[in-house]
């Protein structure tokens, strides 16, 4: 059984990063990975949709409740 010390582990990590290349390394902006950016963009899009649609449907329900039209 071979034991790894910290230096060997760091060298292995560095070798893995070199193998991944610029594409994987370039996917990190401001400390966030690509999948975290996609999740953030999805949450922003969801918040914008809620902000746009809730008032519209609130008006529709209010108008229907007061009998102002369809």
Residue 32's φ and ψ, nearest 5 degrees, are: -110, 140
User: Which 8-state DSSP code applies to residue 32?
Assistant: B
| Confidence check: pLDDT of 42 > 90 | yes
The pLDDT, as a whole number, for residue 32 is 81
The pLDDT, as a whole number, for residue 27 is 59
- Say what percent of the chain tops pLDDT 90: 40
- Report the DSSP beta bridge partners of residue 29: 32
Average pLDDT over every residue of 27-50: 87
| Confidence check: pLDDT of 70 > 90 | no
């Amino acid at each position: 059984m071979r034991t790894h010390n910290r230096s060997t582990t760091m060298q292995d990590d560095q070798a893995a990063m070199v193998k991944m290349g610029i594409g994987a390394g370039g996917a990190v902006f401001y400390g966030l990975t690509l999948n975290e950016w996609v999740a953030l963009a999805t949450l922003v899009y969801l918040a914008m949709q809620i902000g746009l649609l809730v008032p519209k449907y609130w008006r529709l329900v209010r108008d229907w409740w007061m009998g102002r039209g369809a």
